[in-house]
Structure formats: structure tokens, C-alpha cells
Amino acid sequence: MRFDYIIIGAGSAGCVLSNRLTENPNNKVAVFEAGGSSDIWKVKMPLALLYAMHDPKYNWKYYSEPEPHLNNRRLFCPRGKMIGGCSAHNGMVFVRGNRNDYERWESFGLKSWSYDKILPYFKKIENWSEGENQYRGSLGPLPVNQSKNVNPLFKAFLGAASEAGYKINSDMNGETQEGMGMFDTTIHNGERASVSKYYLNPAKKRKNLNIFSNSFVEKIIFEGKKAVGIEVKIKNQIQKIYAEKELILSGGSINSPQLLMLSGIGDANHLKEKGIDVINDLKGVGKNLQDHLETYIMQECKTPDTLYKYTKFIPKILAGIQWFLSKSGPCSQSYLEAGGFAKSSPERELPNIQFHFFPSFVINHGLVNPSSHGYQLHASPNHPKSRGAVTLNSSNPYDYPKILFNYLEHEDDLKQTRESINIARKILSQPSLAKHAGQEIGPGIDKQTDDELNEYIRSNAETAYHPCGTCKMGIDKMAVVDENLKVKGIQNLRIVDASVMPEIPSANLNAPTLMIAEKASDLICNNK
């Protein structure tokens, strides 16, 4: 089989590309996804987000290598394995990042990725509930709604943040990011607004789009240094599929570098060690791995306003019935809908900490139900200085790669995390939360010194599920793709996903990934 364009991965970026490239009826496009359909209630129900995250049918369920600065813990690293990718199991928080994030990208020599250049693509994505303005779009395919969750703990949290001296921001995707407020979400009419539903599904009726699910791409085929096709397992048979114009790799920050290395693109010494013939020696493949590391400040709640009640059989069943009948009630929200951005110290020019307030305890990524009412404030530094890597275990494409985030390797990351705990404590101790606030569970009021907080962080901090940077865009020797997202030294191969981010933005990563895919679609369609 031959197509003009082959897209590897039907995650967030792959869905956008599938839609935009097939707007031209002359483009024959095929998209290959290792997972299956995401058209299931576990995906559609916002409050059920952890179900798909822990189901190996819908998630790769990676784990890191023992993290040396986190007491050698192996951290859970879920990645979407279904149509829609991580947009089908994420927390549905829609945050673009700070203007300065993209000015920094520009300063790395990426002139076309400045904030002013990428803002039109952010606007192009959105059908924003509050209407179009200078910063927001209202004509895009994806419903983006400012949360209207009325849980009283959200009101109390925002009141407490204001009392602690932090401004309330009604639009963190608008003119300024700093402040606390209700996040924008990709929840619409009580259901998850996944990228597959709003980008891919409308394109399915086009005759020039071919979608292959449950299809595992094992290798990219090259003629010299030109990418010409893929070897893919479909229904237990290996097929060779060819691209006349381009291959576009959209596997995400773990799978994209893995497939490049399996195909012969990466650090030559590493590839030779695994018995892989080298097509192109690109030492940056798999390097520059970044993520947001969250620490939870956990507080008992004296009022019955948390999600704890819905861990009980009868309330859980009744809430589920309500959602199935009317797409309303507690199951129609994600509850990761309040938070914001703050400076960890007054001398900082920009906010460097992101917070998510959640009206329940989260234990082991939701695998363990809480035993009491409680709430927690998630705190994470926006721009960690530590860097990790994705490497191969073997040349077998079905062997999971080695993932080492190397969290907290840089001392400043640990310092900022301690500062974020102090901010969280300051907010949670304010009068607006007084009637709700019980005992501090984590770190615990007895943990006050730097050493005590360091140990709490090393023993308890968890991923915010934002891996990126492993095939970074740039002009330096460790860059994997150029400004137009073309793999360096290779013809007809681009990467379009979060792996190309040179530096992690101050954001949940779905919105920036969609922006990258929208911009990439224009680059491809304009032959740039």
C-alpha cells in the first residue's frame, strides 16, 4: 500500500494532523495507532479518568527506572494507547503556558516559535466558551470551557489564595498567566472533549483518510537517508507501507525516540551496543527528557464536601447512573479544575510554580481509595533544570524502553519544590478554608526543616504526567529536528508531538501539543 502521508500515532498530534492534511482531497493519508478505539464510557466520563490510565488495553503503563534522587523509587508513567492518545485519559486541564516560555524557544534560535507566531495556532484550536478576543479563539474544533464547578471547596480555596496575597485570574490563557482561578477544561456537555472526537471523527467521512488501529509500527524503512515507509504489524502480519511524500512520527515523548532508535537514528554508540545498524548518528535522540514533578500537600477535611463520599458503593452507583442518564452530576467533572501559577519568591520575574487543587486524597495514582474526607494542593516547579533520557533495552520493538527522568538531580529543583510547599501551606492556612481544614496529613505539621521536607519530597513526589523534550527542536548539536520539525540529516521524516519541545512550558502539555500539530500541519501543507 502507498499513501502520500503516513502518520505514526493517533494521539493528540496525530488526530490534528489527520484532520488538517485531509482537508485537501488530493492528499491520501494513513494514520497508524498501536491501540484501539477510545469510544468507551471510561474515556467519556470525566471523573473516570483514572480507569483508562490503569487499564493496559488503553495505556502503555510505563515505569521509570529507579530514580536516584527519589529514594530509588520507580515512578509510574502512563501514556495513552488508544485513538486520541493522552487526550483520552488526561485531567482535561487546558493551559497554554506562559508567553515567556515561547520567547525562550525563540531565543534558542527558533524564530518562528515566538509567542506572537504561535498565538494564532492556539486560537485556531479553540471554541472557547467565553467568546473570541485578542488572545482567545471561538471558531476552532475543540470545545474549551472555563470551569463552572460549584464544589464549595473550590470557592474556599480561591478565597484562601486571595487572602494569602495571590491575585485571582479569570483567564490564565489570556493576557497574563499569573494568579489563581478556575482552569479552562476540555469538558463539554458533561463529557470529555477528546481530540479524537473533535478532530479525528469529523475527518473519518473523508475518502482520503485511512485509519489503522491496533497496528504496531515496528520500524521506519529507509533508502539511504530518505524515509520511505514503515514496517507495521496488522492482525499479526508484518506489512510494508510506503509514503510518497512524508512520514510523520507522532508517537509521543517515549515512543517517538524509541522508534527512531529502533530504526537506526540516534546515538551511534548506543545503537551499535544494541545491534542496530546506524542510519544517522543523532546523539540527542532520547535525551533532554523533562517532566513536571508534583508534591502533594494533603489536609484532612472536616466537612463532607470532598469526593470521598463517591468511593462508597451506593453513592458511586447513583452518581454513575446520573451521568449515564443525563451527563450531569459529580461524574461530569474532573475536579482538577482550580489552581494557578505563583512565584516561589518575590525576586522572581515570572511565576515558577503551578498548583492544582483537588477535593480529595489521591493515593497511588488513584489505585487506593482514601479512608477519610480530605483535599490536597499539588505543587510543581514549572521549569525543572534536571534532565533525563529514554534509551533502549534491546532491539526488540516490543521491549519497553528504559525511562530515567533523573528528577531532582539539580539542587534548584529541590529548592523550588520546598518553596512550593511553603506557599501551599500559606494558602491552606487562610480563614476561607478554616471551617474545612483539619490536620495536615502530608508532609505533616512536624515536618518543617529543609531536611525533613527534602525527605518528604523524595519519598512522595510523583509525576504530573508531562514528559517531553526527547526529540528536541533546535540548532545546537543535540537537536533532533529543525525549526520545521524535520529530522536532521534525514529526508521526508518529521516529528510532531511533545517530544520536539526544547524546554517544557509552564503548562499541562495537551494544549501546547495541539498548537505544535496545528503549526506543523501548515508547514507540511505549504511544503516548508
Catalytic residues: 466
Does residue 327 sit in helix, strand or coil?
A: coil
Tell me the pairing of strands 437-442 and 226-234: unpaired
Dist CA 85 CA 300 (whole Å): 34
Q: Is the dihedral of CA 87, 89, 95, 96 positive or negative?
A: negative
CB 502 within 8 A of CB 381: no
Using CA of residue 169, residue 173, residue 178, residue 182, what is the dihedral sign? positive
Cis peptide, bond prior to residue 315, ω within 30 of zero: no
Residue 326 identity: S
The two beta strands, 126-128 and 142-146, are: parallel
Contact in structure between 335 and 187 (CB atoms under 8 Å): no
Give me the DSSP letters along 287-302.
Answer: -SBB-PEEEEEEEEES
- Helix, strand, coil proportions of the chain in percent (round to 5)? 30, 25, 45
Edge to edge, what strands does the sheet with 126-128 contain? 126-128, 142-146, 184-185
Question: Cβ neighbours of residue 66 under 8 Å, at least 6 residues apart?
Answer: 72, 73, 74
CA dihedral 417, 462, 261, 22 (to 10 degrees): -100
For the stretch 426-438, what's the b/e string if a residue is b when 16 or more beta carbons lie within 10 angstroms of its beta carbon? bbbebebbeebbe
Spatial neighbors of 230 by CB under 8 A, at least 6 apart, are: 6, 8, 32, 217, 218, 219, 220, 221, 240, 241, 243, 247
Residue 411 has a CB neighbour count (10 Å cut-off) of 11
